[in-house]
Amino acid sequence: MLEIVDLKDNADYLAALALWHHEEWSALNPGETIEQRKTRMQQYLNDRFIPSTFVARDKAVMGSASIVANDMETRTDLTPWLASVFVAPEHRQKGIGKKLVLHVMHRAKNEGIKKLYLFTTDRKDYYQRLGWEINSSTQYHGHEVTIMQISLNPA
């Protein structure tokens, strides 16, 4: 049965997630090595809500989603961000990504966060179906990205 757990309580998943994220988004983080990514992800192993990573698992790790203070060094005026939404290819098209996104949104709302941001190169329509709105489009590390936002009603 699918469950979503906090990476801080399941640190043994960090290496696999770091590898997945590095393979998926290294072009958006030019020059970052897998070891640097692992080191950066160590920040998620704390008791603060931001940054946090949540992991979807059943018998194995299936995907993840994070909340970070900032996901684009060119847009530090926007905070916090939904980031690193990833589902392993063999588990896609099963609603896991949606559950991860909604989990982060729910947790953020419960923390009193009023607005979340994200950026995507190619999943704008997906996030719009989940209620996200386009904030702007821009170039980021040589890629056209769409910055999106969603308003949350604090609990």
* Alpha carbons 24 and 65: distance in angstroms, whole number: 13
Q: Which domains are assigned to the chain?
A: 3-151 (3.40.630.30)
Share of the chain above pLDDT 70, in %: 97
Strands in the chain per DSSP E: 3-6, 52-57, 61-68, 81-87, 115-120, 133-140, 143-151
* Alpha carbons 104 and 96: distance in angstroms, whole number: 13
76, amino acid identity: T
Question: CB of 150 within 8 A of CB of 120?
Answer: no
Which band of pLDDT confidence, cut at 50, 70 and 90, is reported for residue 48?
A: very high
**Closest to 71 in 3D by CA, of 145, 152, 150, 124:** 145
Q: Residues 129-139: pLDDT tens digits?
A: 999 999 999 99
- Segment 11-17 shows an average pLDDT of 93
Q: Residues 60-74: pLDDT tens digits?
A: 899 999 999 999 989
pLDDT of residue 133: 97
pLDDT of residue 29: 72
Whole-prediction pTM value? 0.90
